[in-house]
Each structure stands twice: as C-alpha cells, then as structure tokens.
Amino acid sequence: MNEARLIETRRKRLKFRAWHRGTREMDLVVGRFADSVVPTLTEPALFEFEALIEASDPDLYDWIVGATPPPATYDTETFRRLRAFHRKEGAK
C-alpha cells in the first residue's frame, strides 16, 4: 500500500473514531471538527489529533470549554484549532 493510501486510511479511521467517542455531545464537537479539518491535516497534525481523541471525554470537554487547561502534551496547534472551531460553531 502506498503512503498516500495509508494517510487516507488514517484520516477515515480518525473521522470514524471522532464520531464514535462514547458521548453524543463529544461526538458532535469532535466529529464536526474532524469532518471539517481532517482531510487537510498534515501528518504531524494527524498524530496530534490521534492523541487528542485518546483523551477521555470529560477531560477533553473541560479543556475545550476552558474549564481546565490541557496538559502541555495536549496543548498543541491541533487542540487550539479544535477549541477555536468549537467556539465558532457554538456561536452560530
């Protein structure tokens, strides 16, 4: 399998996982973000997003809404994009 196909497979898997987190609220928050940006993420950003979606729903939600700051390992450019996306979508 060539590299482009491997990355496309990762993207599809990430989008699926983003929509099947366990709580409907987080499915909507993370899934919408994934639909919007995963097709354009670079490989390093894909790694960051993979790490983010491994975090628990309560922790990730608290980080996104600003209830608690994310640990340094999760405070990445991809996380900041997710938080900004959520704030923009929530304002609609």
Q: How far apart are CA 51 and CA 10, in angstroms?
A: 13
pLDDT score, position 80: 97
Q: Is 66 left (phi over 0), alpha (psi -120 to 50) or beta?
A: left
Give yes or no for a contact between 55 and 83, defined as CB atoms under 8 angstroms apart: no
- Answer yes or no: pTM beyond 0.85: yes
Tokens of 46: 């894909």
| pLDDT at residue 4 in the model | 85
Q: Is the C-alpha dihedral spanning 12, 66, 87, 78 positive or negative?
A: negative
Residue 90 pLDDT grade (very low, low, confident, very high; cuts 50, 70, 90): low
Which residue segments constitute the domains of the chain, with CATH numbers given? 3-90 (1.10.150.250)
